[in-house]
Amino acid sequence: MPSLQDTTRGRILFGGDYNPEQWPEDVWHDDVRLMKEAGVTTVTLGVFSWARLEPRPGVRDFGWLDRLMDLMHGHGIGVVLATPTASPPPWLGRLHPETLPRDEDGNVEWWGSRQHFAHSSPAYRRYAAAITEDLAARYAHHPALTMWHINNEYCTYDWGDEAAAAFRRWLRERYGSLTALNSAWGSAFWGQSYDAWEEMLPPRRAHYMKNPTQVLDFKRFTSDALLECYAAERDIVRAHTPHLPVTTNFMPLWQGQDGWKWAAQEDVVSVDVYPDPKDPLGGQYGALVQDLTRSQAGGGPWMVMEQAAGPVNWRGVNHPKPAGLNRLWTWQAVARGADAVCYFQWRQSRQGAEKFHSGMLGHAGEDGRTFQEIKRIGAELRAVGPQIAGSRLIAEVAVLHDWDSWWAGQQDGRPSSLLDHAEVLRAWHRALWEANLPVGFAHPEHDLSAYRMVVVPHLYLLTDTAIDRLVAYVRAGGTLVCGFFTGVADGDDRVRPGGADAGLRALFGIRTLHEWWPLDTGESVDCGDFTGTLWSEELTADDEAETVASYRGGELDGLPAVLRRGRAWYVSTLPAPDALRGLLGRAATEAGVRPPLPGLPHGVEAVRRGDLLFLLHHGRDAVTVTVPGGRHRDLLTGEPVGGTITLGRHGVAVLREDAHPAGSS
Ligand code: GLA
């Protein structure tokens, strides 16, 4: 199978979405001149071009794209060509209203924005396949073409009739019989038993809480239905260009797609990442997305399909990036395994909904600070990229994350609506990030034996297979740190006897799990050396368990808050950030996991990729970092580094240990 390396060919790609149909053609020539100046090596064309390519049903207008492909090739810029199927032309909705999705109240999502397609509509799929086929046939042999980008940020839900019919087919396939379905859904509760497949519906507007397994299955189905759309277009382009990789861009930590299942269907895993420049933990959010995406790519190189050079336009208040932040976050992605770093978008729009969203080339033009920083990044990547591209990171700690568990756990009728799967994941990842531990992500059914330590921030639903894996992992000498409200439900969202899986409880030394005690906003529990928020649990330990921390005061006074049994730890609350960092640091030390550099100043991140050491300074005040070992050279400055290096505001260094230090022969 082709991979990202077939496109990068030893470089780190740099570029962005290019939407030239918004501009007169004379601007295109200015664009390529400035792209060359900025070191752009790749552009993504055609993401929203369906109406331009097919102005009327069956009519094709490829002339403008021919000229662009030639223009790019003439300037040595590769093209990632998108299938334009994320935004069907208005005529499709007019002629085939069934191609428009409906919300859970039955309201139509009309054209006039984007992503207004009903994933399971045969008419949508037919027209999407036809334009994809013609696009692929026309450009298969064009020398500018380097990769395919299918659709864009697949993210639609549909509760309409086309989706209902497809959902029924999906359920028949999954369960085979209504008896099996009724059992899995627990439909005896509230008299919901189904007697005919025609009665099955997406979970539309209802009087009160919906059947949780129906909701869970609808999310599984939606992810699968969108994946079918992706796979259909992928197979069309693949038939024309078997040598070129195919991708689609993920939204990070997005509920709508099972990221593990999707990544397995891609040649290149790519993601769009937009941390808030005002968020003091924006760098950590970026690192989480990068760690997750790299893990979805099997640990190998991956692609930032989109980031912003400055502000976005979809937050309440949209903050620009202060000087140096774009460069820092770009290098952070490279440090964590990206071999391509691209932006939305090349030239900032003057019209349309995103005219206040930054571009690489903003309204301020080529003198603007944003473009100047872009030029610097492009030059650095061109110079240093070949020494980095293709190399890998070794993650010794795995964080387990699973969409099934997220879908099942994030529903009405749970002990606490404040429990947010993604927020708990962020809190645990933050602790590992601040401790500078090399982290990857894994699915709970993955083989975990390569990791020295596994952490489970919170997985409400765990299958029997996943539980067996965890138990076997600890038996084989692995270190497991597990958060609260985990292993509660089986794969059908049925609560396990005893409130959580018996095998897991035995692993941690939990004798009885009496009650969940979720906490209110602003409420905390005293655990002696630290405070916990969000959650607490009333549990008693068995004789094998060691109590690491206990609740003090309140209803849970004296009961264990943190337990361990050998290498298996259980944390029944959400410890304050410092405490969680300390706890995970202690478990990691025992497991033999070390940060790449000891004693880093606050705000400095160190990442080892291949034989390079990346230092990334998230703060604004200069700091000095001690670099032990032999003499190093900073590839960005070409300067030797002995003993220490000073990093200024948002400073970056890429260090290579000198093979032949000065003075040696
Ligand atoms: C997404 C989309 C882009 C653009 C950006 C704006 O990532 O894929 O088309 O809308 O958001 O941030």
Please give the average per-residue pLDDT across 308-330, as a whole number.
98
Q: Whose CA is nearest to atom 9 of ligand 1?
A: 344
286's enclosing H/E stretch is helix 282-296
Per-residue pLDDT tens over the stretch 136-161: 999 999 999 999 999 999 999 999 99
Q: Is 153 a catalytic residue?
A: yes
What's the gap in Å between 84 CA and the centre of ligand 1? 14
Q: Whose CA is nearest to atom 7 of ligand 1?
A: 272
In three-state form (DSSP H/G/I as H, E/B as E, the rest C), the secondary structure along 170-203 is HHHHHHCCHHHHHHHHCCCHHHCCCCCHHHCCCC
Per-residue pLDDT, 664? 40
Q: Is 98 a catalytic residue?
A: no
Burial 445-482 (b: 16+ CB within 10 A, else e): bbebeebbbbbbbbbbbbbeebbebbbebbeeebbbbb
Per-residue pLDDT tens over the stretch 349-395: 999 999 999 999 999 999 999 999 999 999 999 999 999 999 999 99
In three-state form (DSSP H/G/I as H, E/B as E, the rest C), the secondary structure along 18-80 is ECHHHCCHHHHHHHHHHHHHHCCCEEEECCCCHHHHCCCCCCCCCHHHHHHHHHHHHCCCEEE
Q: Whose CA is nearest to atom 5 of ligand 1?
A: 344
* CA–CA–CA angle 538, 541, 544 (5° rounding): 165
Per-residue pLDDT tens over the stretch 407-429: 999 999 999 999 999 999 999 99
Per-residue pLDDT, 13? 98
Whether domain 397-591 has CATH 3.40.50.880: the reply is yes
Question: Is the per-residue pLDDT at 665 higher than 80?
Answer: no
Per-residue pLDDT, 663? 43
Per-chain mean pLDDT for the chain? 97
**Closest ligand 1 atom to Cα of 152:** 8
pLDDT band at 660, cuts 50/70/90? Answer: low
- 3.40.640.10, 3.50.50.60, 3.10.150.10, 3.20.20.80: which CATH number matches 4-162+204-387? 3.20.20.80
**Closest ligand 1 atom to Cα of 308:** 12
Instruction: Reduce the DSSP state of residue 441 to 3 states and report it.
Output: strand
Please give the average per-residue pLDDT across 110-118, as a whole number.
98
CA dist 56 → 88, 125, 139, 221 (Å) = 11, 17, 21, 32
Please give the average per-residue pLDDT across 104-108, as a whole number.
98
What's the gap in Å between 344 CA and the centre of ligand 1? 6
Instruction: Reduce the DSSP state of residue 489 to 3 states and report it.
Output: strand
CA dist 333 → 12, 185, 320, 395 (Å) = 11, 42, 19, 15
pLDDT band at 636, cuts 50/70/90? Answer: very high
Q: Whose CA is nearest to atom 3 of ligand 1?
A: 344
Using CA atoms, how far apart are residues 266 and 79, in angstroms rounded to an integer? 18
Q: Which of 272, 313, 319 to mutate to test the pocket of ligand 1 (most atoms within 8 A of CB)?
A: 272
Q: Which of 247, 307, 344 to mutate to test the pocket of ligand 1 (most atoms within 8 A of CB)?
A: 344
Please give the average per-residue pLDDT across 555-584, as a whole number.
98
Question: Is the per-residue pLDDT at 195 higher than 60?
Answer: yes
Residue ranges around ligand 1 (CB below 6 Å): 152-153, 272, 274, 306, 312, 344, 354, 357
Please give the average per-residue pLDDT across 612-632, as a whole number.
95
- 2.60.40.10, 3.40.50.970, 2.60.40.1180, 3.40.50.300: which CATH number matches 604-657? 2.60.40.1180
Question: Is the per-residue pLDDT at 405 higher than 80?
Answer: yes
CA dist 529 → 481, 532, 534, 549, 553 (Å) = 18, 10, 17, 8, 13
Per-residue pLDDT, 219? 98
What's the gap in Å between 514 CA and the centre of ligand 1? 46
Chain region(s) in the chain for CATH 3.40.50.880: 397-591
Question: Is the per-residue pLDDT at 605 higher than 80?
Answer: yes
What's the gap in Å between 308 CA and the centre of ligand 1? 9
Please give the average per-residue pLDDT across 462-475, as a whole number.
98
Per-residue pLDDT, 662? 47
pTM equals: 0.97
Per-residue pLDDT tens over the stretch 14-56: 999 999 999 999 999 999 999 999 999 999 999 999 999 999 9
What's the gap in Å between 280 CA and the centre of ligand 1? 23
Question: Is the per-residue pLDDT at 644 higher than 60?
Answer: yes
Choose, from 162, 233, 306, 373, the residue flagged as catalytic: 306
Question: Is the per-residue pLDDT at 194 higher than 60?
Answer: yes
Chain region(s) in the chain for CATH 2.60.40.1180: 604-657
